[in-house]
Structure 1
């Protein structure tokens, strides 16, 4: 999968993406996740933050950046993420959870 992402290849159709995600046993969104490389593409991370801001999920305050949690579904997902990040025993278990998230 890393080679697939590394080559920055995208499936030609939704069916191909679904087939590939099924074969790899990962959520389809895993294949669509951006590869953020701050050394090679420093602006990409900023544009992801801009998109989160446009969606109303992050805001700036006097004390820094505030992650909006008014959306109950988003809040639930953030809390689940925090729980899994702290409770899973190792990085491999965490990666298995996140690559299959909402599969």
Structure 2
């Protein structure tokens, strides 16, 4: 079975963030190998963590905004409102 690519408009942004995190992570490894101060290493690890978290958040929000809407299109008003509220509250995760 051949799968079709599942692409969204935000995927290039997610890829950009992940590549940035990848570069930061390589930098962290090099910093540890060369004996850089722990504070410097921790700051770079924090940057990696934030970049990955933002990429994940963008991907999940995009999925909620597009994929769930396709499935929920036939729902009536009250049920549709529950989905709308779920999408709104998910932004705080």
How high is the TM-score relative to the length of structure 2?
0.28
Larger C-alpha radius of gyration, 1 or 2? 2
Give the structure with the higher percent strand.
1
TM-score relative to the length of structure 1: 0.26
State the structure with bigger RCO (CA 8 A, min sep 6), 1 or 2. 2
